[in-house]
Structure 1
């Protein structure tokens, strides 16, 4: 039994930032939690995806990830790292499924149109096995399912309009099939390695899924609005907005979707703590949200319905409104009506506050 309490675990996850990889910090606790019978088997399969989440995980730059994959869990199958291929690899999947007591990780969306023929994984009795069927049969016997990336969580890029292959998120597919295995969504395009490690660690340590928000994300990683924690927030409050990527100022007018995005990238950072989207000068695209990418397009244009000059509403208010409006395509009238009264007239040329004053 691990000595790490849930309170301590949440504090550790929330405080794990650039200097220390979460995988390294949790390694001793995970080792203690490993059952005497052996490390828990994990099957990792990929559907409609670019494998970007796998690459992000494997390129985390921390040796702790290697130790987790080889010493803490028993990775039975992964399309990018497994030595086996063909019938031998499929036999490993089937044998693990039949033995039970394993965890399923799904990367990529699930094509469902025309019987799901647009994605297959292996063969059985001389016939292709549809990915949709593979997900269902593996999820049915799994202790838990982790949907890695926005595509697996909600459909993501693969399900963007017009979605010709009928892609859906894993949880939606399982619910339609009446399969009640718990699903943890880890959205992101791609994911941060800590988000996966933390979710897996919680499941292994406490034998239950972590606390999830309304769309199935662990609240410890996805409970904060990006806009509310943005290092450029002072520009927003002062109504100073960049017109080009090289300029100082809030990036809302050049496409930042921070008010509708929820994750802790601003704290956790990427590439071993080097950088993240906003710090590198790029606007947030809201890639952790359920309706991404459709809710974020056009990527580099201001979200409709947000009157930028003189906004004094709190980011929580703006973010909350946009979060609701995203489902309806960010309704301009809804957002505008709530922002009304909080906007002032800004003179041409940037108003009375200059970006240099905040630099």
Structure 2
């Protein structure tokens, strides 16, 4: 214990990471899944006692999710994640190879009870020539590891629903891990974290919540945590005020584009893309996501959009006004005052935003008409 009565986090401090930074990462991970600040301290304390075991499988993918995790900084979250969990099998990170690494996987499966993280799509084609690891087909390796797991997390769009490998013509018949697990009758909790890549904090928060409290975040019908995928990019986009005002960049590099105007007309898929990219910075770098660097959202979390629609194709805005135009009055996480004044202000703001959404959609139509005349 330190002089404030708090448990010491000895291992990270021995590696040059302060207790404050260690708890900060746990707190951010807790906040990412919608837990209060005290949950971060509880996670840090729990990790000090016993790290959750993780088995990480690679299949058809580019390893981008792993690389994104390892390249976080301020502090070095990549190193901290390796301190927060016990990675008992990971082909990219292990120094061992061949029989040694396969022995490590066998030991982990014997112990069981681990969190299984799956990165990459699974080829369904049964000719035995695609994605053979350790002499086993991807489907067999996935099922064997899933049977011994306590929970399964599919990180990235490839493992969630097929991603890049499933793009037409899909010669390997690649699909996401959930489809294979369902077909094989694996009755385990399966969480999907689509993204190309997925945000490391979405993974870390989910793993630590399960390890600390024995619970999983609330999931939607696709197995995605609602804390990260309940809202679409368009709702929380920093360029959203320009959409409401009817200000749109027409071409890359024009005055509107340089001044941060809405990118919808350049093909932004934000109105149909469920993700928290605009709320949770990648690598703790503000603006480190497509819209933040001036490029339209490409819809990387959505199976029917990315790798299926033209990158600069305009998609319909399904909900140009309520409820997309404003946050819920009673959000799932957090509390809003219920006084008459608060309710009145909320109604005024909502009314203004709904009106703005209508005006914006009208201006899009008027702008399109003007362009056609020209």
- TM-score in terms of structure 2 length: 0.73
* Offset of residue 42 of structure 1: 1.2
1:289 alignment partner, one of 302, 305, 315:
302
1:225-264 alignment to 2 at 5 Å? 225-247=232-254, 248=256, 249-264=261-276
Residue in 2 aligned with 1:143?
150
1:32 alignment partner, one of 14, 32, 45:
45
2:106 alignment partner, one of 83, 94, 115:
94
1:1-359 alignment to 2 at 5 Å? 12-13=31-32, 28-34=41-47, 38-61=50-73, 62-70=75-83, 72-115=84-127, 117-122=129-134, 128-247=135-254, 248=256, 249-275=261-287, 276-295=289-308, 297-303=309-315, 305=316, 313-314=321-322, 316=324, 343=362, 345-346=365-366
Runs of 4+ in 1 over 3 A off after TM superposition: 8-11, 24-28, 311-315, 342-345, 347-351
Q: Distance in 1 between matches of 2:215 and 2:317?
A: 40
* Offset of residue 56 of structure 1: 0.2
SS in 2 for 1:42: strand
2:116–2:151: 8 Å Cα contact kept in structure 1? Answer: yes
1:147-177 deviations in Å (ceiling 9; x for gaps): 1101011111111122110111111110000
Q: Distance in 1 between matches of 2:165 and 2:310?
A: 17
The RMSD of aligned alpha carbons is 3.2
SS in 2 for 1:287: coil
1:57-100 deviations in Å (ceiling 9; x for gaps): 01011334423313x32211111111111111011101210221
* Offset of residue 238 of structure 1: 2.9
2:29–2:201: 8 Å Cα contact kept in structure 1? Answer: no
1:42–1:77: 8 Å Cα contact kept in structure 2? Answer: yes
Residue in 2 aligned with 1:330?
none
Q: Distance in 2 between matches of 1:98 and 1:195?
A: 28
In the alignment, structure 1 segments of 5+ residues that lack a partner are 17-21, 123-127, 318-338, 352-359
Residue in 1 aligned with 2:6?
none
Q: Distance in 2 between matches of 1:173 and 1:279?
A: 35
Q: Distance in 2 between matches of 1:286 and 1:93?
A: 35
* Offset of residue 116 of structure 1: 5.3
* Offset of residue 53 of structure 1: 0.4
* Offset of residue 314 of structure 1: 4.0
Mean CA deviation greater in 282-291 or 151-160: 282-291
In the alignment, structure 2 segments of 5+ residues that lack a partner are 1-22, 326-357
Q: Distance in 2 between matches of 1:35 and 1:256?
A: 43
- TM-score in terms of structure 1 length: 0.76
Q: Distance in 1 between matches of 2:114 and 2:240?
A: 44
